[in-house]
């Protein structure tokens, strides 16, 4: 796992811990966290409602609250990079397909057997909408 992949994973776990504990992310985020981890956590926390709307739009027959907390957190991190690349400090932002791959890998490692396909399906549907929206703007 690359350093940036680890930082994305760390961001998902900070969001997870904060949500499980019902605590603000600032109390869970470690002082030594990387700038990428910090940016992802704060952006995902600030944009939580809109990110969950995207997740809910594609999670057919599942309310966002029924989705496992870690899966939601993983998808929020990916969606921040897909929808709000300006929120992440990077010379070369990760392309949407890369953000999806990263999220699926974390889901494979830390979630149930069905999770990677579920995460992949929702994020790919969101990516298709992004592509359609960008094409409509041109």
Q: Which CATH number do you get for residue 85?
A: 1.10.940.10
Quick one: pLDDT band at residue 1, thresholds 50, 70, 90?
Answer: low
Helix axes 69-83, 35-46, angle to 10 degrees: 100
Distance CA 60, CA 125 (A): 11
The count of structural domains within the chain is 1
pLDDT at 130 over 90: no
More confident residue, 62 or 107: 107
pLDDT at 135: 43
pLDDT at 16: 98
Domain that holds residue 78: 3-137
pLDDT at 133: 53
How many Å separate Cα 14 from the centre of its chain?
Answer: 12
Lowest mean pLDDT across 31-35, 90-94, 95-99, 130-134: 130-134
pLDDT at 62 over 90: no
pLDDT at 12: 98
What would the two tokens of residue 122 be? Answer: 């929702």
């Amino acid at each position: 796992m690359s350093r940036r992949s680890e930082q994305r994973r760390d961001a998902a776990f900070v969001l997870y811990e904060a949500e499980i504990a019902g605590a603000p992310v600032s109390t869970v985020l470690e002082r030594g966290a990387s700038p990428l981890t910090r940016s992802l956590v704060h952006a995902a926390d600030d944009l939580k409602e809109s990110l969950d709307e995207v997740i809910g739009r594609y999670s057919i027959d599942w309310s966002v609250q029924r989705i496992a907390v870690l899966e939601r957190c993983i998808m929020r991190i990916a969606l921040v990079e897909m929808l709000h690349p300006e929120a992440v400090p990077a010379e070369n932002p990760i392309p949407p397909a890369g953000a999806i791959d990263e999220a699926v890998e974390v889901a494979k490692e830390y979630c149930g057997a069905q999770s990677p396909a579920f995460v992949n399906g929702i994020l790919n549907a969101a990516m298709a909408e992004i592509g359609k929206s960008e094409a409509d703007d041109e």
